[in-house]
Amino acid sequence: MHPQEIVDRALELSRSGLTDREVALKCGISVGALRHWRRGDRRAPDGRDRVTKAQCPRCHDRPLDGRAYAYLFGLYLGDGHIVRTGNRGVYRLEIYCDDGWPGIAAETAQAIAAVMPGLKVGRRQHQGCSGVGAYSKHWPCVFPQHGPGMKHTRRIALVEWQQAIVEEHAREFVRGLIHSDGCRCINRVRRPLKDGDRWYEYPRYLFKNASDDIRRLYTDALDRLGIAWKQNNVREISVARRDAVARLDEFVGPKY
Ligand SMILES: [Zn+2]
């Protein structure tokens, strides 16, 4: 029996897009063994568990964690990508997380694991950010918005089951959107007075996205929560009223 490290390494190489022959050569195993492990037939060393494949909440009869989904969906619409890998039928979901906010990167990894239990969540370092992601054949089932080109160049419409989740978990959805394409920042306003200018500072939430559809999903969720917003400019939505900022502070807060 091969040690677990070899199994893990072989499966990872396989997911990364190498052919079975290449993986077999690199790891010194047979192609048959690799295929066997990929089917999830291998018993863990303690004999209890199996290398589990994630079950798809759409294709298989599996409950979906709505709270985690709403958050991950917000992240995906902001800074997420689904790409097809070289490995037949396998996709990688990747959420770009700014290196300045390690807490959000950790929360992203948790959300992926909660939505698709059994997947291995990994990180890839890019310039100034990491891609937190996982491989699965089922990402397009979970995020049917997947398609060619940038999100703002195509129509983003929710399917019925997503709409229901986003309505039930509007807070988590808004939190995911702000954690990816938004911020809580301090606005400084100058007020000219006779005896000199006076500066005022107040916190506000900004959300910036090039897609009209995604901005609409954000403002619809704010409306549902009774949180006042206004359009700052063509791409930016601002929440600045004191009571509205206080509401968002209850479940979003500054990035961390
Ligand atoms: Zn599926």
61 C-alpha to ligand 1 centroid (Å)? 10
Q: How far apart (Å, rounded) are the C-alpha atoms in residues 109 and 122? A: 8
- Give the residue extent of every domain in the chain: 1-51
What is the mean predicted confidence (pLDDT) over 229-239? 96
55 C-alpha to ligand 1 centroid (Å)? 8
Which of 58, 1, 51 is closest to 29 using CA atoms? 1
Residue 108, pLDDT above cutoff 50 = yes
The three-class DSSP label of residue 11 is helix
Res. 46 pLDDT band, cuts 50 70 90 = very low
41 C-alpha to ligand 1 centroid (Å)? 20
Res. 43 pLDDT band, cuts 50 70 90 = very low
What is the mean predicted confidence (pLDDT) over 16-20? 77
Residue 49, pLDDT above cutoff 60 = no
Instruction: Please state, for a pLDDT cut of 70, what percent of the chain lies above it.
Output: 93
Q: How far apart (Å, rounded) are the C-alpha atoms in residues 176 and 69? A: 10
pLDDT in tens, 207-221: 999 999 999 999 999
Res. 101 pLDDT band, cuts 50 70 90 = very high
56 C-alpha to ligand 1 centroid (Å)? 5
Q: How far apart (Å, rounded) are the C-alpha atoms in residues 187 and 236? A: 14
Residue 83, pLDDT above cutoff 70 = yes
Tokens of 146: 């997947």
What ranges make up the beta strands (E) of the chain?
80-84, 91-98, 122-126, 129-136, 182-193, 196-208, 230-233, 236-239
Higher pLDDT pick, 171 / 23: 171
47 C-alpha to ligand 1 centroid (Å)? 28
Neighbours of ion ligand 1 (CB under 5 A): 56, 58-59, 138, 141
Residue 245, pLDDT above cutoff 90 = yes
DSSP sequence for 181-244:
HEEEEEEEEEEEETTEEEEEEEEEEEEE-S-HHHHHHHHHHHHHTT---EEEETTEEEE-SHHH
